[in-house]
Structure 1
Amino acid sequence: MHTAAKIVTLLASTTLAASSLATENGGGMYPNGNENYLTGALPPAGFYVLGYASSYSADSLRGNDGAQLPVNFKLRANAVAPRFIWVTEQPLAGGKLALHAITPLVELDATVDGQSQRKRELGDIVLGGGAAYHVSDKLHYYVGLDVNAPTGQFDKNDLVNVGRNYWNVEPLVAISYVQPKGINADLKLMYDYNWKNRDTDYRSGQELHADYALGWGFGNGWVAGVGGYAYRQISDDQGPNVPAHGNRGQAFAIGPSIKYDNGKGFFVTAKWQQESQVANRARGEEFKLRMTVPF
């Protein structure tokens, strides 16, 4: 395969949004920066539907030293992902058991050195569970484990793939400090352990990443501030054609972030984030929207 085409194949395989070059196909199971305010504050017992929407664009590939690679490259990714959450009354390790599932629908459009491909498909499904804790009316946290299943389509000869074609487990901790009027702060810390892609004999390295948000509540349901993510690959990729430097990726993103909460279980968050300090990945920008509807 042409080197540039190989880079895009490394980049464009993703789940919710293709914000990726490190790890195989440059993407990852988790769409970095996906969470925002209230990430660690699960609602009371009940069934909830969250809707995620994102739009990502990139026209720059960055190498191991962070410099732009000489590739004519464009990537666009749009996604809509319903997330179903069931918060139970069942006690678990001092908290309440919560279960969830995410079914992403993804559209990818990539062009590299005159070659193009577009796909619109179901991505890799996420199943997870954990314990929700409410320390006070302000401090909340969640400890859980997500399993990412290779349900999306994958063809190693295609330029782009929506599915990753390997299993992944992701332990996580999310914490939220919430005030109607005053500081609001959120952090979701995740660790990704990836299995081998049996079609390519490639195993992506392990990843450490966090979503964050920091803002000010105005006492009327609105919060405004900043949000984004930090990403660092902490072990080398393994398999054919892995560069000597290990192909480890890194990135940081920040941008304006807002939230509206009606106080009755409905809330919406919106964020625009710009990537920087990027190595072995694509560098771009993304708009993300999240909405919760109680049932």
Structure 2
Amino acid sequence: MKLASLITASCAAVLLASASPMCAADEGGMSFWLPGQFGSFNAVPGDPGWSLPLIYYHTTADADPSRLFLRGGRVTAGLDVKADLLFAVPTYVFTDPVLGGQASVSVAGVFGRTKVGVDSTLTGPGGRTVTGSQSDSLTAGGDLYPAGYLKWNRGVHNFMVYTMAGVPVGAYQAGRLANLGTNHWALDAGGGYTYLDPKAGHEFSATLGFTYNFENPDTDYKNGIDGHLDWAASQFLSEQLHVGLVGYFYQQVTGDSGAAAVLGDFKSRVYAVGPQIGYFFPVGGRKWYVNLKGYYEFEARNRPKGWNTWVTLAIPFGGKRQ
């Protein structure tokens, strides 16, 4: 099978929908947007029909004890976060064109475990002071993340626009260090590009977007607008196997606000880079896809930094059997 046909047959299932690592807002040093969720082939149209990407995500991140963060209405010193999450992202690609492109929709759900530790809690509800290290963990379901995409192909050039939202239905309790829900609505929109040359086996993808966050009604905290750029580059070594690099840039462009924003605008940023490997393989006459990628973070500000690993299994149900 030619490389272009192989990728098209599986790209409907490669869509990575919106998700959030610990589902903790910027007030906790984390964002609604999960940097790195878009990768290779992000703008390439796929076969019509249903697909089911399954995504395992592991992250380990921390911040120096001298750094202050707001979590659950508390001002805390230092932060140590670990999470293991599983996302299921049912996706449907429409047959009929929309504005000359290919439309698709998805809804991501998440279940997992997160553990959060702090060196000390400096202030709590009512101004009560608490000292000493504390930790909290939670195993539960998170928020829902519906998304819509529109893609166009022009030879080796592929273009995409998208919009997605965060629906606050996940486990959340004010005052807890560990939560798997944001407790606030969020809207995100942006565009992407993929250069894919089947003859040479070259691929490059990038997605730029911005997130608008609504206020958390339980803490009276409103996160600022976030900007994010995810990118990926790879080279096919065969028709099935590609290897390369991935990375992201995350920058909060407006400050936090609200009665609880006692740390000021608290603008956060983080950058990351790492390796990736992907493989297409046949199952039941259709082409499945598995991808492993990892990111090492640096240049973090007002946000913990560390590393994270993704394992994606994309399962297509629609399209023609090969």
The Cα of 1:244 is off from its aligned counterpart by 6.1
The Cα of 1:182 is off from its aligned counterpart by 3.0
TM-score, normalised on structure 2? 0.79
- Match of residue 4 from structure 1: none
The Cα of 1:63 is off from its aligned counterpart by 4.6
- Match of residue 268 from structure 1: 290
Contact 1:128/1:147 (8 A) holds in 2:
yes
Alignment of 1:135 onto 2:154? yes
- 1:195 aligned partner, one-letter code: F
In the alignment of these two chains, the number of paired residues is 275
Q: Distance in 2 between matches of 1:120 and 1:108?
A: 7
Computing the radius of gyration from Cα coordinates, the structure with the larger value is 2
- Match of residue 10 from structure 1: none
Match of 1:49 among 49, 52, 66: 52
Structure 2: runs of 5 or more not aligned: 1-17, 69-75, 120-132, 318-322
The Cα of 1:38 is off from its aligned counterpart by 1.4
The Cα of 1:167 is off from its aligned counterpart by 0.7
- Please list, as runs of the form range in 1=range in 2, the aligned pairs for 1:63-142 lying within 5 A after superposition: 63=67, 71=77, 73-113=79-119, 114-136=133-155, 138-142=156-160
State the Cα deviation string for residues 53-74 of structure 1 (Å, max 9, x = none).
Answer: 111002334859xxxxx95642
State the Cα deviation string for residues 240-261 of structure 1 (Å, max 9, x = none).
Answer: 3425651000110001111112
CA distance 1:24–1:280, change in 2 (3 Å): same
- Match of residue 61 from structure 2: 58
- 2:36 aligned partner, one-letter code: G
Contact 1:151/1:165 (8 A) holds in 2:
yes
Q: Distance in 1 between matches of 2:55 and 2:231?
A: 16
Structure 1: runs of 5 or more not aligned: 1-13, 65-69
Match of 1:17 among 17, 21, 26: 21
Q: Distance in 1 between matches of 2:191 and 2:40?
A: 14
Match of 1:156 among 167, 174, 188: 174
Q: Distance in 2 between matches of 1:241 and 1:126?
A: 26
- Match of residue 255 from structure 2: 236
Match of 1:279 among 294, 301, 307: 301
- Match of residue 226 from structure 2: 207
- 1:170 aligned partner, one-letter code: D
State the Cα deviation string for residues 40-65 of structure 1 (Å, max 9, x = none).
Answer: 2231111111111111002334859x
CA distance 1:56–1:216, change in 2 (3 Å): same
Contact 1:275/1:283 (8 A) holds in 2:
yes
Alignment of 1:253 onto 2:262? no
Root-mean-square deviation over aligned CA pairs = 2.3
Match of 1:34 among 10, 32, 37: 37
Q: Distance in 1 between matches of 2:26 and 2:20?
A: 16
- Match of residue 289 from structure 1: 311
- 2:30 aligned partner, one-letter code: G
- 1:258 aligned partner, one-letter code: I
Match of 1:174 among 192, 195, 200: 192
The Cα of 1:77 is off from its aligned counterpart by 0.7
TM-score, normalised on structure 1? 0.86
